[in-house]
Amino acid sequence: MSPIRHAACFLGSLALTVSVGVVLVSSQSADAAAHAQPTCTNTEAGAISGRQVDDYTRTSGGTRADVRVIVNDDVVCQHVSSLFVWNGLGGAEFGYVIGFSNCTGYTGSFYENAKPFFFVRTAPGTQEGCKLFGGINLPQGTYQSMQTSDQNGDKRWGPWLNGEQLLPGDQGYVLDFNQGMNGFGMERGNGPDPGYSRNNNLEEFHNSNTWTLWDNISQNANSDPRYVLKKWSLHSGGTVEP
Amino acid sequence: MLKLSTSVACGLAAGIVVVASLTAAGLGDESHAGGGVSTLDATQGAQGSDFVSASIDKGDKCAGQVDVDGIGALASMSSARVWMPSSKDASMESIDAMVMCGSSPTLYFTSGISVAFESGWKLDDPKQRWVDMADQWGGTTSTLLGEPAYVIDLGDKSDDPSVTQVEGAEPTSEVLVVVDDTLIRVIGPSIAADRLVAVVASIDTEAPVRG
């Protein structure tokens, strides 16, 4: 079993009473540089995602968090930090990208400033839609309140940034689900690209029109040899460990 | 303040080794990943997708799968109503698996067709809903079980410029219809939509499965 696999298992073994945040940090692997890719055509130098798993989460109508925009001058291909609601093979994702975007209509340009994007995929996992908000620059080193939801129950999913609905009215995506599982993720495009990602105050939206903090966090997947998932207490400021 | 409580038991010793190495680095340095190679050709742009799917455990049908023993038990685990189809492609005799996928009771049949049920779908104007769905993703509207329905056949596409086909995804048909406030979602990878329509049409909405 790999160290990372152990780390995921370790996170699942917690039995604590804390408020938590999530951060993805470098494992400082000695052989990291040796895995660098020669071009930007491979966007999956690494990705880590986590999810909330409990009976309530599976009926979530939205996810939100205070997402850290990394202080970064090092992106050569891509860095993505994002939030999800998953259903089947589909989902609704809101996050930001630095570097090259994969959004249809926005590929081929390198974005030095963090740009919000909204990405959806239908439940069978066969079609997807994406919109990038090129007119918005998210300042480095700030926390941005990001939310993906169908909060008003009109079955149109959309992104919210610092309380502002970015796709109001009929601009949101009509999807074939109205609830799902909460998640968050980090992706980086190439070897040197930073994977640091940080989410504070992860919350979920309930059918009862309330937002509550996530109460269980576990790793969903980790394909990155250099980064691991860590949780920490917002009360103590320390990492959550057994 | 919230409570974390799970009962997973696993190799804590090795886990602590990983965490110990991280503890020395605190929560990490967000401006540097520890690499340093910067001789890349970044002119080609990123390929693929920014989407990270929920992982599906080996042998499972869906993310977060909960196995269920019996159709009655399945019906009792969700506020969504559950119906058993009785068509050539989907019936009690051709069940492959009965599981909870997230909050959705889901039936998998040996034909490859799956039928999922999702609660909370009270629609003011279901017909308009499916018109919007067809505008967004392609497909057509229809009437099934006496209700407006949405049908998308293999390869159907919309004119929405922001919508694309997922690279490498198997062409899949889908039928959606809402009965009361329960969405019935029928999915068929590489299966023509008319076979899914037949599955839906075989449902007796007056006879939901009793949980």
Which carries the bigger pLDDT value, residue A38 or residue B28? B28
pLDDT band at A26 (very low <50, low <70, confident <90, very high): low
CB contact under 8 A, B34 and A42: no
CA distance to partner chain B, nearest, from residue A163 (Å) = 23
The pLDDT tens digits for A223-234 are: 888 899 988 776
What is the average per-residue pLDDT within A153-169?
A: 92
Residues of A in contact with B12 (CB under 8 A): 10, 13, 242
CA distance A47 to A84: 14
What is the average per-residue pLDDT within B101-110?
A: 90
pLDDT attached to residue A3: 33
CA distance A144 to A114: 11
Residues of B in contact with A118 (CB under 8 A): none
ipTM, interface predicted TM-score of the complex = 0.80
Residues of B in contact with A170 (CB under 8 A): 132
The pLDDT tens digits for B180-202 are: 999 999 999 999 999 999 999 99
CA distance to partner chain B, nearest, from residue A39 (Å) = 5
CA distance to partner chain B, nearest, from residue A93 (Å) = 7
Rounded to two decimals, the pTM is 0.82
On the question of pLDDT at B82 being above 50, the answer is: yes
Q: For chain A, how many residues are written?
A: 242
Going from the C-alpha of B22 to that of each of A15, A200, A241, the distances in angstroms are 20, 19, 11
Which of A225, A241, A172, A170 lies closest to A3 in space, CA to CA? A225
pLDDT band at B20 (very low <50, low <70, confident <90, very high): very low
CB contact under 8 A, B2 and A78: no
CA distance B63 to A221: 12
Cβ within 8 Å of B, A 130-189: 130-131, 153, 155-156, 170, 173-174, 176-181, 183, 185, 187-189
CA distance A224 to A46: 4
CB contact under 8 A, B47 and A19: no
Amino acid letter for position A116: P
Which carries the bigger pLDDT value, residue A154 or residue A185? A185
pLDDT band at A25 (very low <50, low <70, confident <90, very high): low
CB contact under 8 A, B54 and A127: no
The pLDDT tens digits for A44-60 are: 788 888 888 665 557 88
Q: What is the DSSP string of chain B?
A: --EEE------HHHHHHHHHHHHTTTT--TT--S------B--S---S-S--PPP--TT-SSTTEEE-SSHHHHHHT-SS------SSSSSGGGEEEEEEETTEEEEEETTS-EEEEES----S-HHHHHHHHHHHH--EEEEETTEEEEEE-TT---S-TTEEEPTTPPPEEEEEEEETTEEEEEEEET--HHHHHHHHHT--TTSPPP-
Comparing CB atoms, the residue among A33, A127, A228 nearest residue B137 is A127
On the question of pLDDT at B96 being above 80, the answer is: yes
CA distance B203 to B207: 8
Strands B65-67 and B163-165 turn out to be unpaired
CA distance to partner chain B, nearest, from residue A145 (Å) = 19
- Token pair in block for residue A45: 């130098």
On the question of pLDDT at B15 being above 60, the answer is: no
On the question of pLDDT at A117 being above 50, the answer is: yes
